[in-house]
Chain A
Amino acid sequence: MRIGVLVKQVPATENVRIDEETGTMVREGVEAELNPLDLHAVEEAVRLKDRLGEGTEITVISMGPPQAQKAVRAAIAMGCDRGLLLSDRRFAGSDTLATARTLAAGVKKAGGFDILLSGERATDGETGQVGPAVGQVLGMSVLTFVSAVESAGKGSLVVRRAVEGGHERVEAPLPAMLSVVKEINTPRLCTLGGKIRAKKTEIPVLGADDLPLPAEHLGLPGSPTKVVKVSYPQITRSGKKVSAADSVDGAVEEILSVLRGRGIV
């Protein structure tokens, strides 16, 4: 079985700054890491490989600047076999559609997969739509919010999906694209051996010319959505502060008056 994992490198902080002029994120001096939610996709891939045994190979694919190979290596250190980085200045400015098309082309170039995994979303863009879109472009079964892979093999798999009010068990044919939620597993720590192996693993880098994609599908020109303005939200409310140290009853009375005011009691 051939398994693929899509990963993204993201800033390792929530306190990002935006360049007011360009409207883009200031990445200078900001540590980057493998998207924490993608760790669960990598972990699930490695567990699937353990379950399926011989003949299963995992390829991790990322699109990003050259430094993003670090994220690919981090996934290899956890137990993936091979890596592929899609990197080209012409990919810059890609929205989710352009990203999905580029990644899909990369997946094809890598020979395609029976199962393709991604995290639920990246912690920077937070769209959660790249994985499913890649699956659709490649004609795979698209399964989102996957919280367990119950069985996989013989042309189909059974997963659990976390949806409003509970979980559903779904059977779908392969090839399938799975975006997984955090609760699916606990990612493993990588071993020194894994790190050393990852360091030695050659990670091919493919650019725009290596992918069978027309130029108008790439980067900014290939992105239907445009960010026209970026602003910092003001989430500060000047709420009333009451100390319960003096009187718990007084504090409770304040809460009740808000509840009454909002028509809740």
Chain B
Amino acid sequence: MNVEYRGVWTLSEVRDGRIHPVSYELLAWGRDLADTLGVPLSAVLLGSGVTEQAPDLIVHGADQVYVVDDPSLGHFRADSFSKTLAELVNRHKPEIFIASATSTGRTVMPVVYADLATGLTADCTELGIDTKERLLLQTRPAIGGNVMADIKTPLSRPQMCTVRPRSKKPLPADPSRTGRIIAEKAEPGALSSVMKLLEFLPEKNVGAPLQDAEVIVAGGKGMKKGANFALLEELAALLGGSVGASRTAVDLNWAPYSSQVGLSGKSVTPKLYIACGISGAVQHLAGMSASDTVIAVNSDPEAPIFRVADLAIVGDALEVIPALIGRLKS
């Protein structure tokens, strides 16, 4: 069977020319898997002028880094990135290849797996190895988080999946680690893209993109009106976080769609999630219940959000949040 496929790969993500920290989370997952299997862990790094950052991936757990450093890879494009990745996979044959479930990962991996005709599991929250069969065990929520499914890819290789950001902490940087940095070349055909990036329009939003945020302050219908989201922005700024919203709040135009948390929005896993005036419909819980710590403020003592809260404040968010802001400022 596929004995020629060996080793664990992670896809490193580059944004604004820098390796994004989500790449180190993947390495933490990859390290576990590679150690259990007794195989090397490789990071794949695609970009323009990124070679000098490759050692950072070693420091965070990789045994080796495959780097394709080419001016044509300066911006993410689905076609050239996926062609290059497919070429590398065919050349080196890893048994496992994982990427983050970011917009980049969720764009490039479906193209690569379809090209390679193997399996791909979306948005995993837990990974392990079935040691008896030497198979990757992929766990993912489905149907609004109602159900967790364990999925295997018994025959096809590589076993591929995307992993939810913040589902694991990066390993601490270890400058004493050593590893190989391997410069790879891709065929010119693979590097060429038919897509043209015309422009990037940054979101006017407080703090980091929602999926990267360590702290999310989210608001729902209990915020009463759109103007009150300014309070959440103020609190988020004080805590170094970003603002999220329930579907109702987005539908009422109190917050942009990009900040919607839940089934029809984003799944987030910050260190801290503060839900303000959000009742906690199943769809919302599906997108945030995996947060490390949840604080919920809601005037309805029976609000479902309290079921997933570490701290449940029964009260009006419009009273509690300003008071909290006041204390944080003083």
**How far apart sit A25 and B146, CA to CA, in the bound complex (Å)?**
11
- Chain B residue, CB-CB nearest to A247: B315
With a cutoff of 8 Å between Cβ atoms, the chain B residues found around residue A37 in the complex are 264
Asked whether B37 is an interface residue with its Cβ less than 8 Å from the other chain, the reply is: no
Tell me which of B107, B119, B196, B208 has the highest count of chain A C-beta atoms within 10 A of its own C-beta: B107
**How far apart sit A182 and B256, CA to CA, in the bound complex (Å)?**
11
Q: How many A-B residue pairs have CB under 8 A?
A: 278
Asked whether B234 is an interface residue with its Cβ less than 8 Å from the other chain, the reply is: no
Given contact pairs A133-B110, A256-B327, A224 touches B153 in the complex (Cβ within 8 A): yes
Task: Judge whether B114 and A251 touch: CB under 8 Å.
Answer: no
Task: Judge whether A143 and B310 touch: CB under 8 Å.
Answer: no
**How far apart sit A255 and B215, CA to CA, in the bound complex (Å)?**
14
- Chain B residue, CB-CB nearest to A144: B107
Tell me which of A95, A245, A251 has the highest count of chain B C-beta atoms within 10 A of its own C-beta: A251
- Chain B residue, CB-CB nearest to A263: B271
Tell me which of B142, B200, B285, B314 has the highest count of chain A C-beta atoms within 10 A of its own C-beta: B142
Task: Judge whether B120 and A255 touch: CB under 8 Å.
Answer: no
Given contact pairs A96-B120, A235-B285, A169 touches B311 in the complex (Cβ within 8 A): no
Min Cβ gap B329→A in Å is 11
Task: Judge whether A166 and B147 touch: CB under 8 Å.
Answer: no
Given contact pairs A97-B120, A228-B150, A245-B315, A237 touches B294 in the complex (Cβ within 8 A): yes
With a cutoff of 8 Å between Cβ atoms, the chain B residues found around residue A95 in the complex are 119
- Chain B residue, CB-CB nearest to A225: B119
Asked whether A18 is an interface residue with its Cβ less than 8 Å from the other chain, the reply is: yes
Cβ 8 A contact of A224, one of B115, B156, B283, B312: B156
Given contact pairs A144-B107, A164-B212, A182-B257, A172 touches B142 in the complex (Cβ within 8 A): no
- Chain A residue, CB-CB nearest to B120: A129
Asked whether B195 is an interface residue with its Cβ less than 8 Å from the other chain, the reply is: yes
**How far apart sit A135 and B108, CA to CA, in the bound complex (Å)?**
12
Given contact pairs A224-B118, A225-B120, A165 touches B209 in the complex (Cβ within 8 A): yes
- Chain A residue, CB-CB nearest to B200: A168
Cβ 8 A contact of B258, one of A11, A162, A171, A226: A162
Task: Judge whether B122 and A236 touch: CB under 8 Å.
Answer: no
Interface residues on A, range: 35 or more
Asked whether B187 is an interface residue with its Cβ less than 8 Å from the other chain, the reply is: no
Asked whether B56 is an interface residue with its Cβ less than 8 Å from the other chain, the reply is: no
Asked whether A240 is an interface residue with its Cβ less than 8 Å from the other chain, the reply is: yes
Task: Judge whether B114 and A133 touch: CB under 8 Å.
Answer: yes
- Chain B residue, CB-CB nearest to A127: B122
With a cutoff of 8 Å between Cβ atoms, the chain B residues found around residue A130 in the complex are 110
A241-263, CB < 8 A from B: 241-245, 248-249, 251-252, 254-256, 258-259, 262
Asked whether A33 is an interface residue with its Cβ less than 8 Å from the other chain, the reply is: no
Min Cβ gap A119→B in Å is 10
- Chain A residue, CB-CB nearest to B195: A172
Cβ 8 A contact of B107, one of A145, A241, A256: A145
Task: Judge whether A126 and B123 touch: CB under 8 Å.
Answer: yes
With a cutoff of 8 Å between Cβ atoms, the chain B residues found around residue A53 in the complex are none
B185-217, CB < 8 A from A: 194-203, 208-209, 211-212, 215
- Chain A residue, CB-CB nearest to B125: A233
Given contact pairs A170-B197, A251-B320, A264-B239, A237 touches B308 in the complex (Cβ within 8 A): yes
**How far apart sit A136 and B68, CA to CA, in the bound complex (Å)?**
22
With a cutoff of 8 Å between Cβ atoms, the chain B residues found around residue A259 in the complex are 239, 272
Asked whether A190 is an interface residue with its Cβ less than 8 Å from the other chain, the reply is: no
Asked whether B71 is an interface residue with its Cβ less than 8 Å from the other chain, the reply is: no
Task: Judge whether B311 and A240 touch: CB under 8 Å.
Answer: yes
Asked whether A79 is an interface residue with its Cβ less than 8 Å from the other chain, the reply is: no
With a cutoff of 8 Å between Cβ atoms, the chain A residues found around residue B260 in the complex are 182
Task: Judge whether A16 and B146 touch: CB under 8 Å.
Answer: yes
Given contact pairs A164-B102, A171-B195, A136 touches B150 in the complex (Cβ within 8 A): no
Asked whether B221 is an interface residue with its Cβ less than 8 Å from the other chain, the reply is: no
Contact string, A209-227, partner B, CB cutoff 8 A, digits 1/0? Answer: 0000000000000011111
**How far apart sit A181 and B264, CA to CA, in the bound complex (Å)?**
9
With a cutoff of 8 Å between Cβ atoms, the chain B residues found around residue A248 in the complex are 315, 319-320, 323
A-B contact pairs, 13 of them (CB 8 A): A14-B282, A123-B144, A125-B142, A131-B110, A132-B114, A133-B110, A133-B114, A141-B194, A224-B154, A235-B307, A240-B311, A258-B311, A264-B239
11 new A-B contacts at CB < 8 Å, known A137-B114, A232-B148? A96-B110, A142-B111, A164-B104, A167-B200, A183-B256, A241-B306, A248-B323, A249-B323, A264-B239, A264-B240, A264-B271
**A-B pairs with lowest CB-CB distance, top 7:** A244-B315, A224-B119, A224-B156, A129-B110, A133-B114, A183-B257, A127-B122
